[in-house]
């Protein structure tokens, strides 16, 4: 009787510890998300506000993101090894590893945007930039909300994010059409217009990564793979 009580207590303690570790993992992913979101924001605004120093700072400093990525992966592996979690916890932890990789690649896109910004800022402004900051805003919000959905296991929010990917694609096409007109009319605009088109592609990729995260969330919550069942997406 005594023994069983001791073993129950130990199990209770282990479960409690496991929950704490899961919470710590979620917090680290939120940190990582906030960090890369800020970098995307800064890179886009370096372009719009013509701040070369900001763009150069982003290119030079991704050590924080990299350190955090490695730490999160190690946390996941430790949780898998020590706790031997089953079913839903297993889906959660393996999803965390995938989400971690997507966040790191969003960080890479911030660097790519900053690199293009440096090139573009060597020339005088081509035109008021309107669609790119909108694309950035939507992509940043998709990233933030996909992580909220993960932390709160909110499949409904995750599904709402999937629908917003189309908005980003439409803006991307619009950016392309407008800039093509500029290039055709005046070859002197080609380099800048090209740079802006490439930035729109980087922003599109950020939205794709946020979409991947949202799909992972739905899988975690519903044990249902929505990656390739696009007919289930609202609004598509």
CA atoms of 54 and 37, how far apart (whole Å): 15
Q: Does 169 bind a second copy (CB under 8 A)?
A: no
Residue 129 vs 194, nearer CB to a second copy: 194
Angstrom distance (rounded) from CA 144 to CA 69 = 17
Pick the binder of a second copy from 23, 66, 170, 236 (CB under 8 A). Answer: 66
Should residue 98 be labelled a site residue for a second copy when binding is judged by CB under 8 A?
yes
Q: How far apart are CA 25 and CA 151, in angstroms?
A: 10
Binding flag, residue 86, a second copy (CB under 8 A): yes
Other Cβ atoms within 10 Å of 20 Cβ, number:
10
Residue with tokens 């992966």: 73
Among the candidate windows 31-39, 50-58, 70-78, 137-145, which touches a second copy by CB under 8 A? 70-78
Q: Is 110 in the site for a second copy (CB under 8 A)?
A: no
CA atoms of 47 and 52, how far apart (whole Å) = 8
Dihedral of the CA atoms 186, 190, 191, 197 (nearest 10)? 130
Q: Site for a second copy (CB under 8 A): how many residues? A: 33
Q: Which of 60, 227, 232, 235 binds a second copy (CB under 8 A)?
A: 227
186 alpha carbon, distance to own chain's centre: 36
Residues at the site binding a second copy, with contacts judged by CB under 8 A = 63, 66-67, 69-70, 73, 76-77, 80-81, 84, 86-87, 90-91, 94, 97-98, 101, 180, 183-184, 187, 190-191, 194, 197-198, 201, 212, 225, 227-228
């Amino acid at each position: 009787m005594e023994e069983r009580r001791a073993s129950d207590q130990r199990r209770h303690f282990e479960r409690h510890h496991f929950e704490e570790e899961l919470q710590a993992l979620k917090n680290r992913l939120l940190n990582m998300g906030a960090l890369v979101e800020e970098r995307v924001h800064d890179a886009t605004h370096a372009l719009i506000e013509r701040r070369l120093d900001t763009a150069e700072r982003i290119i030079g400093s991704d050590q924080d993101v990299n350190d955090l990525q490695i730490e999160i992966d190690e946390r996941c592996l430790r949780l898998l090894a020590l706790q031997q979690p089953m079913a839903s916890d297993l889906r959660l932890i393996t999803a965390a590893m995938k989400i971690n990789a997507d966040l790191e690649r969003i960080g890479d896109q911030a660097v790519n945007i900053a690199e293009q910004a440096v090139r573009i800022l060597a020339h005088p402004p081509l035109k008021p930039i309107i669609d790119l900051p909108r694309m950035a805003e939507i992509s940043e919000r998709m990233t933030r909300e996909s992580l909220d959905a993960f932390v709160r296991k909110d499949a409904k929010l995750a599904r709402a994010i999937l629908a917003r990917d189309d908005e980003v694609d439409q803006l991307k096409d619009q950016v392309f059409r407008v800039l093509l007109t500029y290039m055709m009319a005046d070859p002197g605009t080609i380099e800048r217009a090209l740079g802006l088109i490439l930035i729109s592609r980087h922003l599109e990729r950020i939205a794709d990564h946020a979409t991947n995260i949202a799909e992972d969330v739905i899988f975690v919550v519903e044990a249902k793979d929505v990656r390739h069942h696009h007919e289930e997406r609202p609004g598509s």
